[in-house]
Amino acid sequence: MANFCMILQYDGTRYNGWQRQGNTPDTIQEKLETILEHLYGEPVDLNGSGRTDAGVHALHQVANFRIPRMMSRYSCREIQDYFNEYLPADIRILSVQKVDERFHARLNAVGKLYEYRIDCGEIAHIFDRRYLYRVEEPLHVQRMREAAGYLIGTHDFRSFCANRQMKKSTVRTIFDITFEEEDGILYIRYHGDGFLQHMVRILTGTLIEIGMGDVLPSQIPSILDGRDRSLAGFTAPPNALFLVDVFYEDSQEPDN
């Protein structure tokens, strides 16, 4: 089999998330698979590195697809150009490359980096407003950093998972949470081995409540220990969340 890995970008605003699901229209995966089918004349499965929720964006999503060698008549460049010609303007393929036959975008991913963008400056941003979450109250970032310290590490994040009936493990490892303020925007970056449903948005909502003083940083351990969604904060809206990178073992890393 020939195995192709794509790096792509999308504005998730008008999509029902990454994952194709039954009759739900307008998923990113469905848009891409439709083009793949037109290109090769038969259905081809595309594996994304993971789902992104409805309304969430990707600066760097990774996906791969395999096709029998005898069907593999197009170069990486031709595949990329074909996609970019037929995709709507809110999805772009940044690169396509041939990879080892065993590479799988989801199964081989060892980490992901998400970024949440909070507009907390004195005057709200205009031109990027669709991609920012506006918070009028002042945020005490030092407290948010302190709370993040309790979240980093390997924990059961059931309290931060939207799926209350989740049967699989809700244990995840957060390698790091960083905060950067620039031009009135607070960027919170989450680097972890994987994230549960809505986990980054619930973490962000909880950190915002801590930044506003409604919750204390020292309450985080008991929120984690309670393993109950109702203990954590609100789910921050999707429009300000970006998947910014997906990590693989060095030997499998697709070059950008």
Per-residue binding letters, 85-114, with a copy of itself (x by CB under 8 A):
----xxxxxx--------------------
53 annotated active-site: yes
CB count in 10 Å sphere of residue 132:
22
Out of 11, 26, 45, 53, which one is annotated catalytic?
53
Among positive and negative, which fits the CA dihedral 205, 211, 215, 218? positive
Per DSSP bridges, beta strands 109-119 and 133-134 are parallel
- Using the rule CB under 8 A, is 11 a contact of a copy of itself? yes
Q: Which of 121, 126, 117 is nearest to 138 (CA)?
A: 121
Choose one: 65-73, 104-112, 120-128, 141-149; the region binding a copy of itself (CB under 8 A).
Answer: 120-128
Question: Residues near 142 by Cβ (< 8 Å), separated by ≥ 6?
Answer: none
First to last CA, the chain: 22
- Using the rule CB under 8 A, is 76 a contact of a copy of itself? no
The one among 23, 123, 249, 251 contacting a copy of itself by CB under 8 A: 123
Choose one: 17-25, 66-74, 118-126, 148-156; the region binding a copy of itself (CB under 8 A).
Answer: 118-126
Q: How far apart are CA 67 and CA 61, in angstroms?
A: 20
The one among 44, 124, 162, 231 contacting a copy of itself by CB under 8 A: 124
Residue 19 and residue 27 in contact, taking contact as beta carbons nearer than 8 Å? yes
- Using the rule CB under 8 A, is 34 a contact of a copy of itself? no
Choose one: 64-72, 98-106, 121-129, 160-168; the region binding a copy of itself (CB under 8 A).
Answer: 121-129
- Using the rule CB under 8 A, is 115 a contact of a copy of itself? no
Q: How far apart are CA 50 and CA 48, in angstroms?
A: 5
Binding site for a copy of itself (CB under 8 A): 9-11, 57, 84, 89-94, 123-124, 126-129, 131
